[in-house]
Amino acid sequence: MGNRWRSDDAAGLEVARLLAGTLPPGSELVEREGEPSGLIDAWAGADAVWLVDAVSSGAAPGTIHRVDASEQPLPAALLRASTHHLGLGEAVELSRALGSLPARTILYGIEGGSFAVGDALTPEVAAAAVRAAAAVREEVVACTSAP
């Protein structure tokens, strides 16, 4: 998820760029710049989903938050601001209410420092995107190689 024209809001898109071509066969990489509600259709029938988006909770820029949304609702404080009409947290909770949330739904939230107009990530968020991509790749590989 992200908006490539709002500086650190593009963190999730950067993670997707870093993951492109590196995931195991059968994995699908989906980028979204629009409304997160479209994700509900995108993950229909998926067993597992990893979501990556910029967040604004007040933590230090570049902080990576990992939340298992399949076990608990997403913390409101983590997703309190969104550049979307319907935020990612609301899309996840709507999917949960509809019974269509994948059994394994993991959110990686990268704490943004700047959401001003611009097409470059701040250095802290760019470094966090590299770490988040490695963590997501590791989890996807473990999930797809499990017996």
At residue 97's C-alpha, the angle toward residues 91 and 100, to 5°, is 75
Does a structural domain hold residue 119? Answer: yes
pLDDT at 91: 84
Q: Rounded to two decimals, what is the model's pTM?
A: 0.90
Does a structural domain hold residue 103? Answer: yes
pLDDT (tens, 9 = 90+) of the chain, 147 residues, equals: 889 999 999 999 999 999 999 999 999 999 988 777 788 888 988 999 999 999 999 999 999 999 999 888 887 777 655 555 567 888 888 899 999 999 999 999 999 999 999 999 999 999 999 999 999 999 999 998 866
Does a structural domain hold residue 23? Answer: yes
Does a structural domain hold residue 1? Answer: no
Does a structural domain hold residue 131? Answer: yes
Name all contacts of 37-40 with Cβ < 8 Å and 24+ positions apart: 37/86, 37/91, 37/94, 39/1, 39/88, 39/91, 39/95, 40/91, 40/94, 40/95, 40/98, 40/100
Number of domains in the chain: 1
Dihedral of alpha carbons 82, 18, 105, 41, sign:
positive
Does a structural domain hold residue 2? Answer: no
CATH number at residue 51: 3.40.50.1450
User: Count of H helices and E strands in the chain?
Assistant: 4, 3
Does a structural domain hold residue 110? Answer: yes
Does a structural domain hold residue 137? Answer: yes
pLDDT at 147: 61
115 closest CA partner among 9, 3, 19, 24: 9
pLDDT at 106: 96
Q: Write out the residue range of the structural domain in which residue 81 sits.
A: 7-145
